[in-house]
């Protein structure tokens, strides 16, 4: 669209064009707001544990997370942001719907927009669902993709523990410690050390939310 401004004889005629980016910019801002709302709803329930026995809080948590899932799906459909898939997975995880959580974490991985965090989430869900061989498959891929990450080695050690391969798990966790002693690495090291020394039995399954026994 071309708009011509009529001016006095002392000024030239100035052609103006309506910006072709204005509608695109507004659309982008709209979906940015959608994402911000979904993120604001989701984060308190992803990262803060809900107190047990508070039924009302759990009900609000469920409603809010389900609303956030709809917003993330709407945002992803229009903007194709892989972060939406990850947060949908985290929302289902917070709702204890681990099959759905695994489904969406895998979708992130399939887009090749993965990171050690993505592998860890897939592995955690596989362990919760007791899909140990699948957990091992992804843990090996994680170590291959990120060989210098201590947490990746620790995650492999954890999976090997659930497969009752304690000696191999201990070797892996020692490699992880040589790369860095983060809280995650040391928690898994302490678990495997206690199992190896007979202080603890090999756990049957990973706790909800990925909690170590």
Which of 66, 90, 111 represents a domain boundary (last residue)?
Answer: 111
Q: pLDDT band at 6, cuts 50/70/90?
A: very low
Q: Domain range holding 156?
A: 114-213
Q: Is residue 15 part of a domain?
A: no
Which of 88, 111, 134 represents a domain boundary (last residue)?
Answer: 111
Which of 62, 86, 111 represents a domain boundary (last residue)?
Answer: 111
* Nearest-angstrom CA–CA distance, 135 and 181: 23
* Nearest-angstrom CA–CA distance, 27 and 79: 10
Residues 136 and 199 both lie in one domain: yes
Residues 158 and 184 both lie in one domain: yes
pTM of the prediction?
0.72
* Nearest-angstrom CA–CA distance, 33 and 206: 36
Give the model confidence (pLDDT) of 138-170 as tens digits: 999 999 999 999 999 999 999 999 999 999 999
Nearest C-alpha neighbor of 164 from the set 192, 142, 126: 192
Give the model confidence (pLDDT) of 30-84 as tens digits: 887 877 777 777 666 565 554 444 565 577 778 888 888 998 999 888 888 888 9
pLDDT at 205 over 70: yes
Give the model confidence (pLDDT) of 163-191 as tens digits: 999 999 999 999 999 999 999 999 999 99
Per-residue confidence (pLDDT) for residue 16, from 0 to 100? 44
Q: Is residue 170 within 8 Å of residue 161, measured between CB atoms? A: no
4 forms bridges with which residues in the sheet?
Answer: 15
Provide the Cα torsion 47, 50, 56, 61; round to 10°. 20
Ranges of beta strands (E only) in 8-107 are 14-17
Residues 55 and 88 both lie in one domain: yes
Nearest C-alpha neighbor of 163 from the set 187, 133, 142: 133
């Amino acid at each position: 669209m071309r708009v011509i401004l009529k001016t006095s004889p002392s000024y030239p005629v100035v052609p103006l064009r309506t910006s072709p980016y204005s509608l695109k910019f507004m659309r982008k801002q709209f979906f940015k707001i959608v994402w911000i709302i979904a993120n604001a709803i989701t984060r308190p329930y992803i990262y803060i544990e809900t107190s047990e026995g508070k039924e009302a809080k759990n009900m609000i948590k469920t409603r809010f997370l389900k609303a956030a899932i709809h917003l993330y799906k709407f945002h992803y459909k229009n903007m194709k942001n892989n972060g939406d898939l990850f947060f949908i997975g985290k929302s289902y995880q917070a709702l204890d719907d681990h099959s759905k959580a695994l489904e969406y974490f895998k979708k992130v991985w399939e887009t090749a927009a993965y990171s050690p965090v993505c592998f860890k989430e897939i592995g955690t869900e596989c362990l919760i669902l007791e899909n140990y061989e699948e957990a091992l498959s992804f843990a090996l891929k994680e170590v291959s993709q990120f060989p210098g990450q201590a947490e990746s080695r620790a995650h492999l050690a954890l999976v090997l523990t659930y497969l009752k391969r304690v000696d191999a798990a201990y070797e892996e966790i020692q490699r992880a410690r040589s790369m860095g002693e983060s809280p995650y690495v040391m928690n898994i090291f302490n678990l495997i050390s206690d199992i190896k020394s007979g202080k603890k039995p090999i756990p049957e399954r990973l706790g909800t939310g990925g909690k170590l026994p």
